Chain A
Amino acid sequence: MKLGFAFRLYFQNLAASRSLNILSIGIITFAFLILGMFMIAARNMELVVDKWGEQIQVVVFLKDSAGEADRARVERKLAFRPEVKKLGYVSEAQALERLKGMLGDKATVLSGMDKNPLPASIEIQLQKKYRNLQFIEALAAQINAWPEVENVFYGQRWLKNFLSLYRIFKLLTYAIGGLIFLASGFIVYNTVKLTVYSRREEIGIMKLVGATDGFIRIPFLLEGVTQAVSASIISLVLLFLAWVIFHQTIRIPFQLFALGGISFLTPGQMISLVAAAAFLGIMGSMVSFQEFLRV
């Protein structure tokens, strides 16, 4: 089939049913606005949760007898491990200062002590993919066996609660996201079907004069994809404008979430949204088209 002819048919169709196309794009835009809003909400919640996740750390307490050389050896051994993101040494004096800071006015209770009881420690921040309970437990057990180490602490209870909460959050995101995606897909399918339905007679006539299904299908596929892709781009532009206005006019204490502000979608997510639109447009026209081919 000549592709040029398919494109000519496609442009003829667009011109012939401009209002129907605008209506379809409008409906699909709404569907993608909802999907896009959910994606922004999910992304920001994930950023918040990730921020909290950064607080997951393993604290290695060194033995009182451990000297400078021991500490340097432990740090070196840790620094070579792929799971370690950042290391921080906290001396006995620094630990005491932190405790005083945390006690505030009540720090005077410490003044009676003639010796600093706090041990020196090394704080380990883990790479994101290693922040799971099984791994942290195994790592803690390994480090604990080192001769220079007195004890390893990783906030076992907090960590367990946090990680199960994180799992629920992830699961909910996928479930709700999946449902919204399905609903959007259904809307796109039905809207594209509307266009094909309005042309069912035309499809019938083309078939009666000997056009193959493939010949007829291409302009309709192009129409479905154009509708869905342009709707997704319009929804992204609208969301971006809303995001800019929101940032300029409303001030929310975002520091509550330890974030600078609400983030927009990443370029990857935007491309995924447009790609998903193209996919839904193709599927929508393919499936609905099949129904009207039986002539």
Chain B
Amino acid sequence: MIELYHLTKQYERDIVALSDINVKIKKGEFCYVTGPSGAGKTTLLKMLFAAECPSSGQILISGRNISRIKPRDIPYLRRQIGVVFQDFKLINHWTVYQNVAFVLEILGAQGKDVRRVVLNTLKRVQLHHRVDSYPQKLSGGEQQRVAIARALINQPQILLADEPTGNLDPEITDEIMKLFVEINDRGTTVLFATHDRNLIRAYPKRIISLKGGSLFSDSEESSSPTLELGKKR
């Protein structure tokens, strides 16, 4: 599903954000990307939805090389990938409904269909009773669920999450995590960037550890999920 070959991102001569990353993520897999701040987690995810382009190396998504994707093709790539951010990235003067429906409006879906699909998706994240609320009236957990609904509405094959529980308390984190696991159970490939070791322990999955922009460890290769980076710290 996702294949990275010698992926490198260098900003200036001395600043290397990612160096020679080689990883393969299978369809339907749930995979943590972990590591300390500045390890390159966000850069890696950004390259997967073409917010950054690699300095060298290749990125293949469903067999399609997106390393040198043309700017005009980027929106179409993003429509196939759901992205969830730590800071939710919701439009505050739009209602919950409008924030989620926007993705379908982009695709030119018809009014009736839009309403049906949006309400179903909001039901899935248990927010169907807040359709007309504005994001600022919602709790952090609810805002993140809106963001997840927006990422899911288009039924993407891949869901990228960049520290989605970073701003949430442990109870809400657990709720959100269960949602991600459920989404993965339905067949969506999930790439989940976090440095929360408790979360990884509670929901053990494959772990790709980055350190200083390099691949530190990959639990896939050491047969069972580990927290090597956590142990070394």
Interface majority SS on A: helix, strand, loop or mixed? helix
Which residues of B are found within 8 Å of A206, using beta-carbon distances? 91, 102
Q: Give the residue of B75, B91, B98, B108 whose beta carbon is less than 8 angstroms from that of A210.
A: B75
- Would A205 and B105 be within 8 Å (CB), given that A211-B75, A212-B75, A295-B51 are in contact? no
B105 touches A5 (CB 8 A): yes
Contact indicator A210/B79 (Cβ below 8 Å): yes
A212 to B79, CA, bound (A): 10
Inter-chain contacts of A5 with B (CB < 8 A)? 105
Using A202-B91, A295-B51 as known contacts, say yes or no to A208 and B83 having CB atoms under 8 A apart. yes
Q: How far is the CB of A8 from chain B (nearest CB, A)?
A: 9
Q: Mark B81-123, 1 if CB is under 8 A from A, else 0.
A: 0010000011101100010001101101000000000000000
**A contacts with B, residue count (CB < 8 A):** 19
How far is A162 from B121 in the complex, measured between Cα atoms in Å? Answer: 79
Contact B91 A1 (CB under 8 A): no
Interface assignment of A215: CB less than 8 Å from any CB of chain B: yes
- Is the Cβ of A209 less than 8 Å from the Cβ of B103? yes
> Contact: B51 with A12, CB < 8 Å?
no
Separation of A212 and B108 alpha carbons in the complex (Å):
12
Chain B nearest CB: distance from A146 CB in Å? 73
Q: Does B150 contact A (CB under 8 A)?
A: yes
Contacts of A295 in B (CB 8 A): 51
- A6 nearest CB neighbor, chain B only: B105
Taking a contact as CB atoms under 8 Å apart, the answer to whether B51 and A208 are in contact is yes
- CA A211 to CA B51, docked complex, whole Å: 13
Q: Is A209's CB under 8 angstroms from B91's CB? A: no
Check A205–B106 contact: CB distance below 8 A. Answer: no
- B78 part of interface (Cβ distance < 8 Å): yes
Q: Are A208 and B49 in contact (CB under 8 A)?
A: yes
- List 7 additional A-B contacts (Cβ < 8 Å) besides A205-B90, A205-B91: A12-B98, A206-B91, A209-B103, A210-B75, A210-B76, A212-B75, A212-B106
Q: List 15 A-B contacts (CB under 8 A).
A: A12-B94, A202-B91, A204-B89, A205-B90, A207-B75, A208-B49, A208-B51, A209-B83, A209-B102, A209-B150, A210-B77, A210-B154, A212-B106, A215-B106, A295-B51
Residues of A within 8 A of B (CB): 1-2, 5, 12, 15-16, 201-202, 204-212, 215, 295
The 6 closest A-B pairs by CB, nearest first: A16-B93, A210-B79, A210-B78, A212-B75, A210-B75, A205-B89
